[in-house]
Structure 1
Amino acid sequence: MSSPALADFPALLRGAGLRVTTQRVHVLDALRRLPHSSADTVFAGIRDSLPGIAAGTVHGILNDLTDAGVVRRVSLPDVGSALYELQGDDNHHHLQCVQCGRVEDVPCAIGAAPCLHPSHDHGMRILEAAVTYRALCPECERNGNG
């Protein structure tokens, strides 16, 4: 997934109907640098550059960005809190190491969203399909952690 450059964040926010703030730009930049991060990780990644920002503010910003479609919330098995990534125009899934928790993007196996269709949709219109491939990363494999 390609990430917008730091200079593109104000335009991205405006395009989503959001006011451009220093805090929002810093949160987006943290997600550009640290994809698949929890709100706590984003907070830790920006608190030195934004002294005085509160963890609750970061949570609120992530919720606003998610609601506006700028950020995607990713829920994965065995992860205590939601992870966030910049919303791209691609359709991708996630590969998660069952030992260390490392998460990587993988392209959709088949075409455009939703790329998976259930055998019976019970009359519902499918909006998205989420696939998480659970695996063991090479480093954990080498260390005998699996």
Structure 2
Amino acid sequence: MLTAIDAPARLRGAGLRVTTQRTAVLEALAETAHTAVDELHERVQTRIPGVALQTVHGIVNDLTSAGIAQRVSLPGATSALYEMARGDNHHHVQCVVCGRVEDVDCVVGAAPCLTPSHTHGMRVLEAAITFRGVCADCEQR
């Protein structure tokens, strides 16, 4: 388990109604890192048999909108991944062979980490960087 959380308190704090399904999805998300919705669905089904995949999708969208979770879109990934929102501007390193994803602290420290050469009149809110490589396990195969 990655992080033990008080799911009901986290939901209430974000202004979301506490339900058994939301609590189970949030707890499953806190126990994993960089998880696709179908994987969350499998984990939640062990706690709530019969919960629909669409229900888990809806809850993940609610958690993301409330700032509890965040979506991670990576190059070449078959689906978006989700993680607990950390309130920082961290990045990710992704193995191009097995798909393993790990967090990487911000390159410079302050968000946004990078300043674009031209903002085209936009106020930059964040920089999303994905480092891609080959993990040590895949390198040895």
TM-score range, shorter chain: over 0.9
Residue aligning to 1:5: 4
Say which is worse superposed, 134-143 or 18-27, in terms of deviation.
18-27
- How far apart, in 2, do the equivalents of 1:51 and 1:109 lie? 42
1:92-107 equivalences under 5 Å are 92-107=90-105
Counterparts of 2:90 and 2:125, CA distance in 1: 14
Task: Give the TM-score of the pair, scaled to structure 2.
Answer: 0.94
**2:30 match:** 32
TM-score (norm 1): 0.91
SS in 2 for 1:65: helix
Partner SS, residue 46 of structure 2: coil
Question: Quick check: 2:3–2:31 contact (8 Å CA) kept in 1?
Answer: no
CA contact (8 A) 2:89 2:126 kept: no
Could you say which residue in structure 1 is the equivalent of 2:17? Answer: 19
Give the Cα–Cα distance (whole angstroms) in 1 for the partners of residues 87 and 72 of structure 2.
Answer: 15
Identity of aligned residues (%): 60
* Structure 2 unpaired stretches of 5+: none
* Structure-1 residue corresponding to 2:108: 110
RMSD of aligned alpha carbons:
1.2
Which of the numbers 131, 134, 146 marks the counterpart of 2:132? 134
> Number of residue pairs matched?
140
Find the aligned partners of 2:10 and 2:88 in 1 and give their Cα distance.
Answer: 16
